[in-house]
Amino acid sequence: MNTYLPLWPVAASAHAVRVDWLIAAFTALMVLLTAPVFILIVAFSIKYRRGSPADRTARPAGNVVLETSWAVIPFLLTLAFFAYAALLYLDLGRPPADSMVIDVVAKQWMWKFEHPGGQREINDLHVPAGQDVRLTMTSQDVIHSFFVPALRIKQDVLPGRYTSLWFNADRPGVYDLRCSQFCGMDHSRMVGRITVLPPGEYAAWLGRAGTAGDLASQGKALFDNLGCSGCHEAQSTVRAPSLVGLFGRPTPLSDKRVVVADDQYIRDSILDPNRDVAAGYQPQMPTYAGQVSEDELLKLVAYVKSLGPLQAEAPLPPEARR
């Protein structure tokens, strides 16, 4: 038997250190608030045991001041921690605009990764240290969850939808990746590694890893092969909206709604084109559901993204990303 007794997980990011401090400080507060309960139960049980000579006159039946204070004071103290924890959490939902984006496709029971340059990996993700990395994640089947204990982060990965997660791992090393949402028979084998490399080594690794061209150019090839370009390019005879400069912009729809053209919108428009039709166009595009895989969808999204507008669009509030 392995007799090593681990007590605290390694922290590989500034966020992880903040979460550790949060839980340590909050635990201290909890001990402070409950120590009286534990001490007094034992003390009273001894002092007021049946037959003891302790004074039992003037027994109180209640005390409103006491009741109010033990309801309100712990609550207010806890609220301070609530606020800090909520701020940390909201940070997790706002990836920095210049994050490097890596695509993640989960399936029973495997993690697939694709780097912007087209390098692909399975169950073993290489990332540069000290850089903001944003994961765009989706699932091919059931719900999974991307959990890296060393980074203190976790996000469920859903079929039919993109969820995202970002981190900045500042300590090079190899860390565990675990699926934490029960996903069927081999759930506990859906594990992998995150290898955090110093930036130079990461560049070298990218060079060594084979690639069939970056994601956007692979997406361009798909765009042509699937016949998308036949309608969506400027010289086309069929009237379809141009995709140049589309990504990240508010787009009016034929039913008067305005949506932001993000990853999810582009994905949905490929699979269910008649749900959100751009204003001024007819619902005539055929669906590609069943004809393109999640990996291919991510490439098509990368291509549309590459058509602009210019990068560094402000990140969208999470509410609008749905």
Partner 1 sequence: MTVAAPLLTPEERVSYLAAGATLRSWLATTDHKRIAILYLISITIFFFIGGTAAALIRLDLLQPTRHFLTNEGYNRTFTLHGVVMVWFFLIPSIPATFGNFLIPLMIGAKDLAFPRLNLLSWYIYVLGGAVTVYVLIAGGVDTGWTFYTPLSTMFANGHVVAAAIAIIIVGFSSILTGLNFIVTVHKLRAPGMTWGRLPIFVWSHYATSLILVLATPVLAVTLVLLLAERVFHVGIFDPSLGGDPLLYQHMFWFYSHPAVYIMLLPGMGVVSELVSASAHKRLFGYWFVASASLAIAAVGFLVWGHHMFVAGQSLYASVIFSFLSIVVAVPSAIKVYNWTATLYKGDITLDAPFLFAMSFIGLFTIGGLTGLMLAMLAVDVHVHDTYFVIAHFHYIMVGGTVSAFFGALHFWWPKITGRLYSQFWGRISAMLIFVGFNLTFFPQFILGYLGMPRRYHIYPPELQVWHVLSSAGASILAVGYGLPFAYLLYSLRNGRAAGRNPWGVAGLEWTTPSPPPRENFLKPPVVTREAYAYPIEESGHDG
Among 99, 123, 161, 273, binds partner 1 (CB under 8 A): 161
Candidate list 38, 124, 213, 227; residue touching partner 1; CB under 8 A? 38
Could you say whether residue 178 binds partner 1 (CB under 8 A)? yes
According to CB under 8 A, which one of 14, 28, 41, 122 is a site residue for partner 1?
41
Q: In degrees rounded to 5, what are phi and psi of residue 274?
A: -90, 5
Nearest CB to partner 1, comparing residues 56 and 208: 56
Of 14, 188, 224, 225, the one binding partner 1 by CB under 8 A: 188
Confirm or reject binding of residue 319 to partner 1 (CB under 8 A): yes
Handedness of CA 16, 22, 25, 30 (dihedral sign): negative
Is 13 a residue that touches partner 1 (CB under 8 A)? Answer: no
Q: Alpha helix locations (H) across 172-309?
A: 199-208, 215-225, 229-232, 263-271, 294-306
- How buried is residue 24: exposed, middle or buried, by Cβ count under 10 Å (0-12/13-18/19+)? exposed
Q: How far is the CB of 172 from partner 1 (least distance, A)?
A: 19
> Is residue 153 at the binding interface for partner 1, with CB under 8 A as the rule?
yes
| Residue 283 beta carbon to partner 1: minimum distance, rounded to whole angstroms | 17
- Which CB sits closer to partner 1, 61 or 310? 61
Rounded Cα gap, residues 309 and 262, in angstroms: 12
Residue 5 Cβ, how far from partner 1 at the closest point, in Å? Answer: 5
Question: How many CA atoms lie within 13 Å of 261's alpha carbon, on the beta-carbon side?
Answer: 25
Using CB under 8 A, which residues numbered 228 to 287 contact partner 1?
none
Over the range 269-283, which residues count as b (16 or more CB within 10 Å of their CB) and which as e? bbbebeebbbeeeee
45 makes contact with partner 1 (CB under 8 A) = yes
Out of 90, 122, 174, 238, name the contact with partner 1 by CB under 8 A.
90
- Decide: is 79 part of the binding site for partner 1 (CB under 8 A): yes
CA-CA distances (angstroms) from residue 192 to 64, 75, 111, 112, 298? 56, 40, 8, 10, 21
- Lookup result for tokens 């912007």: 116
State the DSSP code for 306.
H
Per-residue interface string for the shown chain with partner 1, residues 48-77, x marking contact by CB under 8 A = xxx---xxxxxxxxxx--xx--xx--xx--
Tracing tokens 């990140």 back to the chain, one arrives at 315
Distance CA 106, CA 109 (A): 8
185 binds partner 1 (CB under 8 A): yes
Residue 206 makes contact with partner 1 by CB under 8 A: no
Q: How far is the CB of 101 from partner 1 (least distance, A)?
A: 18
Nearer to partner 1, 34 or 225 (CB): 34
Contact assessment for residue 277 and residue 253, using Cβ atoms and an 8 Å cutoff: yes
Which of 14, 28, 173, 184 lies at the binding interface for partner 1 (CB under 8 A)? Answer: 184
Query: What residues from 97 to 116 belong to the interface with partner 1 (CB under 8 A)?
Result: 108
Question: Tokens 């049946």 sit at which residue?
Answer: 50
Rounded-to-integer distance, Cα 250 and Cα 261, Å: 6
Query: Minimum distance from CB of 151 to partner 1 (Å)?
Result: 9
How many whole angstroms separate alpha carbon 247 and alpha carbon 252?
13
Q: How far is the CB of 290 from partner 1 (least distance, A)?
A: 9
Q: How far apart are CA 52 and CA 46, in angstroms?
A: 8
